[in-house]
Structure 1
Amino acid sequence: MDETTAQAVASCAAAAKQAAPALAGATDEAVDAALGEMAARLSAARAAVLAANAEDVAAAEAGGMSAGLLDRLRITEERLLAMAEQLRLLAGAPHPARSVQLGTLPGGLRLVERRRPVGVIGANYEARPNVTVDVASQLVKSRNAGVLRTGSAALRSATVLVREVVAPALADVAIDPDVIQLVPSADRAAAAALVTLPHLVPLVILRGSGESTRELGQLAARHGVRTLAHADGGGVLYVDVAADPERTRDLVERGLDRLGVCNRLNLLLIHADRYDAVLPAILDTLRELGVRPSLPPHDHAVGYEWALDAEREATVTIAPVTGVADAARVANEETSGLAATIVTEDPAAAEEFLAGYTGTGVFWNASTRLLDGFKLLGVPETGINIDKVPGPRGPVTYPDLCLRQYAVLPG
């Protein structure tokens, strides 16, 4: 690992840790005021943000970045306004109680559960400049300092967002702006360095392509750093024998409004008894959307995630299944377990699918595109966790970024 890069990351982590108490001890009012200032400054710095982002997009286009990744990278006027609105909504969201009375113990002692910040949380993400604001705001709301690392594609945009929006907003309310650090290096080695500092950054949020994120997760584990990883995605749509054709068409269209996102339609399963009847209409819809079907026999895994394939992201896998149980089995065993939808007018079939699918989000006559922190919970997310262990699962938001502490106190 390059020593200069490693030192840059370590310096950011040390600065964040030193500043962390300023945020941990801040009042609810100060935290919410900081978020409100971020929203105001995002609007005031609009020209600088859009200009930096235009440079990032131009460089990415010259480098041959795919259309889906370019869509993730680009900040439009509309998206900038949405980012500001999300900050305002987050500022108004309730703070979880810091202390909850659980009961009493023998001797008249009181048992209290307390919520404490982690301290410093890292975040590694690629060509998504809006994630800079999403993660920074979630960390501030949860009173955690942070070290953010993004790749070369979005570094200009991220730098302006931290310098012109996040840092001055914190300073405005007398919170040390050093609590949010942006690693100034685009070197990939910075991501590796970030997950090897357990005493400075004990938890790192990982977002990005499946393989690189898994590798970082393994490296983190070897160094005693915990991760919340969002490596794999891909939404599943099961068309039941009792599916309404118009509703099916609508869900296919909704699932493919953006191709470079994790919760888009990736695998379309069709009941074998209806396969030949409904397939032509589905193929027509895909053709109108400019999306290519991958039909049996497949030369790839059924759950292959097309959003991560820069050459073939405008693709949906289609496969027949024998019924509801088979659809749930395929979604459970052959995909990442992010999200799955059943389209049907039969409540019994829907209930069977809801009970059988074990993934992070399950939907009936609704698009997997709804599996998103803001769409479901009204606040931005740091990522979507699909781990099969206790802890935050699904969209991870500010109430999840805490440690539980038991306190035993005199009665």
Structure 2
Amino acid sequence: MTDEVAKTVEECAAAAKQAAPSLAAVADSTIDGVLTAMAERLLANRAEVLEANQADVAKAREEGMSSGLLDRLTITDERLSGMAEQLRLLSGTPHPQRSVPVATLDGGLRLVERRRPVGVIGANYEARPNVTVDIASQLIKSRNAGVLRTGSAALGSAQRLLDSVIAPSLTEAGIDGRAVQLVPRPEREAAEALVSFPNLVPLVILRGSGETTRALARTAAAHDVRTLAHADGGAVLYVHPAANPETVRSLVRNSLDRLGVCNRLNLLLIDERAYADAWPVISSELAELGISASMEPHHHPIGYEWALDSEREATVTIAQVSGLDEAVTIANEQTSGLAAGIATEDEAAAEAFIDGYTGTGVFWNATTRLLDGFKLLGVPETGINLDRVPGPRGPVTYTDLCIRQYAVLPDRD
């Protein structure tokens, strides 16, 4: 990376670190007031936010961005109102206890578990300007300062959101407005720099596309920076012999309402005993939605994530399986482990599928599109963590953005 890019990112990180104490010390009511103010400013500045976004979208369209990515880049009037509503809901959610009694120890002592902010958290994400507000609000709610870096396609929208919505809401509440930084450089090198300053930004949230995000995670590890990485997605649906055809139709339709998202239907596994009845229903629904079916023999890995393929994102992989055990094995071993669902009216089969699948989210007669922080938990998410290690897994929200500290204190009761 160039020295100039690295210096810019380092300056943003240093400013966020200096501002972090002003965010960590304020009362819960002040934090919630900031989020409410952000919602109000988002609506009050609707025209200029949409204008900045329209400029980003027009430029991206001229440069040949795919329809799925354009969808992610676009802030519609309806989506902007939804962003404001999410901010209001987040402002009203309870704050985690900062100090929780654990046990009484020998010698007149007591053990307390304390939750502390990380300090400064970075976030790298691509052409999704709404994520600027999602992540900034989560950081503020958890009292962490932040350094945000987005791709060049969404930079104009993100800058407008920071200048018109986020920073003034912090300043008005008496919090240092530098607590949330946006890297102003469009170069991809800025992402590498963001994961290279462990003393300034010890934790970075990575949201993005496959290998690019995995490479950033490796770079972060080499610099002793921890990450919450959301690199891979693609959801699975297994159609069991006891599936209701109309349920299958509904699941296919509701799982493909948006194509450029991680939790959309990506791989459809049909039990060979159900294929004759299920396939006509599925094929007609796919045709109506304008979705192509990748049929056997596949010339790609069975878990290939179509959302990341700008040329063929309107595709679903179809495969027959011999039974539930094979479906579970494929979902566990040949996909990202994001989400898998079963369509069946057989409760025993559903329980076996749920017990066998080890991924982040498992669904019975429900769309995997529900694997989302707001849809599941009622608050925005910073991303979906797929790590198979202790720690936050699935949709990561403000309650996860902390460090645990044990305090041993005199028992004064």
Q: Does the alignment reach a TM-score above 0.5? A: yes
Aligned equivalents of 1:138 and 1:284: distance in 2?
41
- Give 1:279's aligned residue: 279
Task: Extract unaligned runs of 5+ from structure 1.
Answer: none
- 2:325 is aligned with 1:325: yes
How big is each residue's C-alpha offset from its partner over 1:146-168, in whole Å with a ceiling of 9 and x where there is no partner? 00000110000000000000000
Shift of 1:276: 2.8
Counterpart for residue 193 of structure 1:
193
Q: 2:183 maps to what in 1?
A: 183
Query: Cα deviations across residues 319-365 of structure 1 (Å, max 9, x unaligned)?
Result: 01111111111100010000001000000100000100010000000
Q: Which amino acid aligns with 1:305?
A: E
Q: Aligned residue for 1:230?
A: 230
CA offset at residue 277 of structure 1?
2.8
Instruction: Trace 1:198-277 onto structure 2 (pairs within 5 A).
Output: 198-277=198-277
Distance in 1, matches of 2:125 and 2:366, equals 28
Who is 1:172 aligned against?
172
Aligned to 2:60: 60
- Where does residue 353 of structure 1 map in the other structure? 353
User: Does residue 161 of structure 1 match 2:161?
Assistant: yes
What residue is the counterpart of 1:382 in the other structure?
382
CA distance in structure 2 between the partners assigned to 1:378 and 1:166 by the alignment: 21
Distance in 1 of aligned mates of 2:122 and 2:277: 50
**Distance apart, 1:281 and its partner CA:** 2.0
SS at structure 1 position matched to 2:167: helix
> TM-score with structure 2 length normalisation?
0.99
Aligned equivalents of 1:110, 1:351: Cα separation in 2 = 42
Q: Which amino acid in the other structure matches residue 297 of structure 2? A: P
- Matched residues in 2 for 1:220 and 1:354: separation? 34
SS at match of 2:205: strand
Once residues 84 and 277 of structure 2 are traced to their aligned partners in structure 1, the CA distance between those partners, rounded to angstroms, is 46
Q: Please tell me the root mean square deviation across aligned C-alpha atoms, in Å.
A: 0.5
Q: Which residue of 2 aligns with 1:104?
A: 104
> Aligned equivalents of 1:101 and 1:356: distance in 2?
36
Q: Which residue of 1 aligns with 2:132?
A: 132
Tell me the amino acid that sits aligned with residue 317 of structure 1.
Answer: T
CA–CA distance in structure 1, aligned partners of residues 402 and 334 of structure 2:
33
Using the alignment, how far apart are the partners of 1:394 and 1:199 within structure 2? 27
Check if 1:51 corresponds to 2:51: yes
- 1:40 aligned partner: 40
Q: CA deviation at 1:105?
A: 1.1
Residue in 1 aligned with 2:366? 366
- In 1, Cα distance between equivalents of 2:64 and 2:291: 20
> Which residue in the other structure is 1:143 paired with?
143
Question: Residue 37 of structure 2: SS of its match in structure 1?
Answer: helix
Following superposition, which runs of at least 4 residues in structure 1 exceed 4 angstroms of deviation? none
SS at match of 2:237: strand
Looking at structure 2, the residues matched to 89 and 280 of structure 1 have their Cα atoms a distance apart, in angstroms, of 42
**Deviation at 1:279?**
1.2
Structure 1: distance between partners of 2:326 and 2:96? 41
Q: Which residue of 2 aligns with 1:407?
A: 407
3-state SS, counterpart of residue 19 of structure 1: helix
SS in 2 for 1:269: strand
Spell out, residue by residue over 1:180-229, the C-alpha distance to the aligned partner (whole angstroms, 9 max, x if none). 00000011000000000000000000001011000000000000000000
- 1:369, 1:26 → 2: CA distance? 36
CA distance in 1, matches of 2:109, 2:349: 51
Letter in 2 for 1:325: D
Paired position in structure 1 for 2:343: 343
**SS across alignment from 2:127:** coil
CA distance in 2, matches of 1:14, 1:274: 59
Alpha-carbon shift at residue 280 of structure 1 (Å): 2.1
Deviations 1:356-386 (A, max 9, x none): 0010000000000000000000000000001
Counterpart residue type for residue 115 of structure 1 = R
| Same amino acid, percent of matched pairs | 69
Give the TM-score normalised by the residue count of structure 1: 1.00
Q: Which sections of structure 2, spanning at least 5 residues, go unmatched?
A: none
